[in-house]
A and B are shown apart, each in its own frame.
Chain A
Amino acid sequence: MSDTAVAPTTESPAVAIKKVRKKRPIGFYIAASWIGLVLFLGLFGWILPTPKWDASFFDSLGVGPFSKGHILGTTQDGYDEFAGLVNGARISIFVSFIAVTVGGGIGSFIGITSAYFRGTYDKIVVTFFNILLSIPNLVLSLALLSVLAYSDENHPSSTNRRVVVLIISLIVVIIPILGRIGRGATLQWSSREFVLASKSMGTKDFMIIRKHVLPNVAPALLAIGFLAIGSVIIVEGSLAILGIGVPGGASWGSMLANGRGNLEFSPWEVYCPALCIAFTVISCNWFGDYVRTALDQREAKI
């Protein structure tokens, strides 16, 4: 940064951001294109002339990748791998988007308000976050899922219910992660002079939070939000491997879980979804890291 240290002080943040944008690392472009591809497949994948994802092709069981009609081959049960991945992208986007926005929203609201108001409320919130964090992510969502989506012959549980419970349990996992970040960032900002000035002018607390705290805290939350999407996909995949993810082989994780037994005969059943999950998680992390550093430099220059 030494070469830019003499930059004129009149340089506006917008100009500074533009300058940083010029030097985007190559990883950023790779990550952005992969995320773009997944988004496209998830949202508009139904346009593509792929076979149906939930139909079994009995004439081609377990054919390898690049065979006629099945670009990435089929599973041992005759399900088209590529169509499955496209459908999995849809499920992954749906599940992780809802979990991160709702969980992140609740978490940051609690975190920001607790750091702003302090006092007993803050103490309770910190203990609450510590409790949620003291149980490993996977164990927590496992326990929630197995109880709230409990099913046996006497108490059948519908697929929809299981997906809803899955999303709820992921939300519970996200809340303390983003809540802590929001709280930490707010602690820094809420003691700044402009907050104090605003307070002394009699501005209402929630107005201060909205106008002065939130815009400053948002970048950190956004960056961690991308990381959180990655961890949601990982937790969903792990749950699927343990046999309680999205039912019916619909998500990448459950495709992986179903294909695990056929590792010897049709390894593409494992490496296709595994690589999709890995690339998506890595891309989200790259992207989040990029957002973080880009905004860090803005802060350093002002």
Chain B
Amino acid sequence: METLLMLLRRLFGMALVVVIATFLLSCLMWLLPGDPALLLAPGTPAGALQAIRHQVGLDRGVFGYYWKWLTDMLHGDFGQYYLNGGTRSVTEVIKRTLPVSMQLIVYAQVVALTFSIPLGLLTAYKEGSRFDRWTSSVLFTLVSFPAFALALIMSLIFAVKLGWVDPIGYVKPSEDLFKHLKLMILPVASLAVGLTSSYTRLLRNDVIATLKEDYVTMAASKGISNKRVLWKHVFRPSSTTLLTSAALNMGGLIGGTIIVETIFVIPGIGYEIFYSIGARQIIAMQTLIALVSFAYVFFNTTVDLITNITDPRTRERRV
């Protein structure tokens, strides 16, 4: 019962954050100089403009407009792009771009986790050794290396100078899997480097703390091999922070892909947000940002709830 109540309270809080965030975005749109309908669809004749105004809800004031947008969203109508006299459904665009971004994000996460888990365990196990000091310093340097600088420098070296991969472009995995993976190497690498560094650091800290627990000494003194102790007894209890942070990054990365997608010309949702802001497609922009912000808040809340339910220690600490 208590859990259910907490769940409801959290869901309410989550909805509130997304609603206020998107409402503030609508208010922001209202600050644009000139007629919003004309900005949305430049070059439209006056009669058609009135129709657009009504369709979007621009004739109802800022509250009415927001209410219409919100109810439309909840009914599954994500709005339209108004370009070159025609319209294009935002739903279609999301269907086309979201999978691309998800591929990028999932690859980056998988690569980051495969590198950071062994590195984190090993650096923690050999805490204070030369290996640990060097790895930790290098990772600390890389975590602050801006993704765009990394992306540009890598494409300079590997694409322009060495010619190993194409500098830009995207191919669907269903068309040509090998080419798809080859084109994804640089974008994924520029996202994964920062992630790997931060994940390794998180895991290392937790593993160092776990290694000091009595039951680890117990397991080791029973004669279980070091490798087995590390994986079975140390890794599992230390992985909570890592997994939490990985899940939180799912939401944040959608925004973070904007730069990588722009540099490598990948038709993902990040690039689409940038494009819709540039083209003043206020409806599309509002919908896409709402989606990102919802994803972020959703992952945040879900992860919080799951750790809350599965790990009683966090519950006690909160009280």
A residues at B contact (CB < 8 Å): 27, 127, 130-131, 133-139, 142-144, 146-148, 150, 154-155, 230, 233-234, 237-238, 241-243, 256, 260, 263-264, 267, 270-271, 274-275, 277-278, 281-282, 284-286, 289
Contact = CB atoms under 8 A, between A and B. Distances in A.
B208 interface: no
A271 B296 CA distance: 33
Interface in B58-109: none
B296 A134 contact: yes
Nearest to B253: A136
B contact face: mostly helix, strand, loop, or mixed: helix
Given A143-B285, A241-B259, A285-B140, A277 B160 contact: no
A231 B16 CA distance: 28
Closest 3 A-B residue pairs measured CB to CB? A136-B255, A274-B149, A285-B144
B292 A139 contact: yes
Contact of A154 (B17, B34, B278, B296): B34
A155 B156 CA distance: 38
B297 interface: yes
Interface in B150-178: 150, 152-153, 155-156, 160-161, 167
Interface string B246-269: 000000101110110011000000
Contact of B293 (A127, A134, A142, A275): A134
Interface in B16-34: 16-18, 20-21, 24-25, 28-29, 31-34
Contacts of B144: 230, 278, 281-282, 284-285
B125 interface: no
A147 B289 contact: no
B146 interface: yes
B21 A242 contact: no
Given A143-B285, A150-B33, A271-B156, A278 B149 contact: yes
Contacts of A278: 144-146, 149-150
A271 B258 contact: no
B115 interface: no
15 contacts: A127-B17, A131-B21, A134-B296, A135-B255, A136-B256, A138-B255, A143-B28, A146-B280, A241-B148, A241-B263, A256-B149, A260-B152, A270-B153, A271-B152, A282-B141
Contact of B145 (A27, A150, A282): A282
Contacts of A260: 152, 263
B51 interface: no
Given A138-B259, A286-B140, A238 B148 contact: yes
A139 B255 contact: yes
Contact of A270 (B21, B31, B152): B152
Given A130-B17, A147-B28, A289-B140, 18 more contacts: A131-B17, A136-B296, A139-B258, A146-B280, A147-B29, A233-B146, A238-B146, A238-B259, A241-B262, A241-B263, A242-B258, A260-B263, A263-B160, A267-B156, A270-B153, A274-B153, A275-B153, A285-B143
Given A278-B146, A285-B143, A155 B34 contact: yes
B145 A155 contact: no
Contacts of B17: 127, 130-131, 134
A154 B35 CA distance: 12
Contacts of A150: 32-33
B137 interface: yes
B270 to A, nearest CB: 9
B8 interface: no
Interface in B126-151: 137, 140-141, 143-146, 148-150
Given A131-B24, A277-B149, A143 B277 contact: yes
Contacts of A241: 148, 259, 262-263
Contacts of A134: 17-18, 21, 293, 296-297, 300
Contact of B252 (A136, A284, A289): A136
Given A146-B278, A277-B149, A282-B144, A138 B256 contact: yes
A135 B258 contact: no
Nearest to A239: B259
A135 B289 contact: yes
Interface string B211-230: 00000000000000000000
A95 to B, nearest CB: 15
B184 interface: no
Nearest to B25: A143
A142 B62 CA distance: 21
A260 B167 CA distance: 12
A242 B259 contact: yes
Contacts of A286: 140
Contacts of A274: 148-149, 152-153
A142 B21 contact: no
A243 B277 CA distance: 12
A256 B153 CA distance: 11
Contacts of B167: 263
Nearest to B27: A147
A37 to B, nearest CB: 18
Given A136-B252, A270-B153, A237 B148 contact: yes
Nearest to B16: A127
Contacts of A256: 148-149, 152
B32 A147 contact: yes
Contacts of A155: 33-34
Contacts of A135: 21, 255, 289, 292-293, 296
Nearest to A285: B144
